Amino acid sequence: MRPDPKPCRVHRGHPTMSQITLLGCGLMGQPMARRLLQAGHTLTVWNRTRSKAEALAAEGARVADTPAAAVARADAVITMLDNGEVVRQVVFDAHGPGPSVAEAMPAGCLFIDMGSILPAQAQDHARRLAERGVRVLDAPVSGGTVGAEAGTLAIMVGGAEADVAAAVPLLSAMGRPVHVGPAGSGQLAKLANQMIVGITIGAVAEALLLAERGGADPARVRQALRGGFAESRILEVHGQRMVEGDFAKRGSLAIQLKDLRNALHTAGELRFDAPITQALAGLYADAAAHGLAELDQSGLFCELQRRQRPANDPTS
């Protein structure tokens, strides 16, 4: 039987979220946790690799031994996990002799999945948790570690309007939340975001390589394009990484590939033809196969560069 939980203090129209739990303290989770601590929230953290959670203890976070223990007294639970299957395992499977996370969360608690998963998975999780009296939002983010550190993430939120309103003060500590529709809609918006990001990285990389092949300075070409119709955050940030050869991981190429594959999976379910996304997913897959998976996603530049023959190569 489910234990009698402490009533959650997150109520519709009266958000008093002070007891926050974050499950997942990786590349994005750690800076997001710091933003929550800086906003004055009492934060409990858990991570499968405990050392990543313990890195936040010196900054005021409490480290829990199990995910169920982490959520037992939470007003809101945030997950920042790798994929939908990991979310399912962490939330619905028991870890040891005690209850699962789904069983341990207080009634009325607000569960916010901020990782990137399939829309269908988000809808399934929302349904299963709603049966337990837990309110659910899918709220994936864009902006990478830079946005997470600065608290400027774009946050795409799916769920009930009243629950979104209750979560806005909490989410605003990490970025700019926008309600985009019912359960699963946040993940649809994130797929749209990742399609644009992944495709645009490819366009910027290919264009800069063409300019270089023709004898132009790619750094100056990038500078010349800024402010025109080709201007974008990708040209600004990822284009700079390309011209500097800086492919240290902020958001990984592997994750970009996962998101494009999720977009194609969802497109298939919707009977939607996405040929541009299909083509770019193939390029990212080739890059991963050639050992570039753990580079920043701008590392697609290296794969496109690898494909180029010398200008004087007569072969076709």
Quote the CA–CA distance of 174 and 155 in Å, as a whole number.
8
Q: Give the model confidence (pLDDT) of 52-76 as tens digits.
A: 999 999 999 999 999 999 999 999 9
Does residue 105 surpass a pLDDT of 80? yes
DSSP 105-120: SPTT-EEEE-S---HH
Quote the CA–CA distance of 220 and 48 in Å, as a whole number.
45
Does residue 157 surpass a pLDDT of 90? yes
Burial class (CB in 10 A: 0-12, 13-18, 19+), 96: exposed
H helices of 151-217, in order, are 161-171, 185-213
Q: What angle do CA 144, 211, 145 make, to 5 degrees?
A: 5
Residues assigned a catalytic role? 190
Residue 157 phi/psi, 5-degree rounding, is: -115, 125
Q: Give the model confidence (pLDDT) of 261-284 as tens digits.
A: 999 999 999 999 999 999 999 999
All residues at 6 or more sequence positions from 31 whose CB lies less than 8 Å from its CB, including other chains: 145, 148, 149
CATH architecture observed for domain 189-306: Orthogonal Bundle (1.10)
Cα 144 to Cα 133, 140, 256, distances in angstroms: 32, 11, 11
Q: Residue 126 in contact with residue 159, Cβ under 8 Å?
A: yes
The answer to whether domain 10-182 and domain 189-306 are alike in fold is no
Quote the CA–CA distance of 82 and 36 in Å, as a whole number.
20
The verdict on pTM exceeding 0.95 is no
Q: Within its chain, how far is the Cα of 50 from the centroid?
A: 21
CATH architecture observed for domain 10-182: 3-Layer(aba) Sandwich (3.40)
* pLDDT value for 314: 63
Residue 105, both tokens: 């969360």
The residue type at 124 = D
The domain limits of the chain are 10-182, 189-306
Task: Give the 3-state secondary structure of residue 84.
Answer: helix
Residue 275 phi/psi, 5-degree rounding, is: -65, -35
* pLDDT value for 4: 42
* pLDDT value for 53: 95
Residue 95 banded pLDDT, cuts 50, 70, 90:
confident
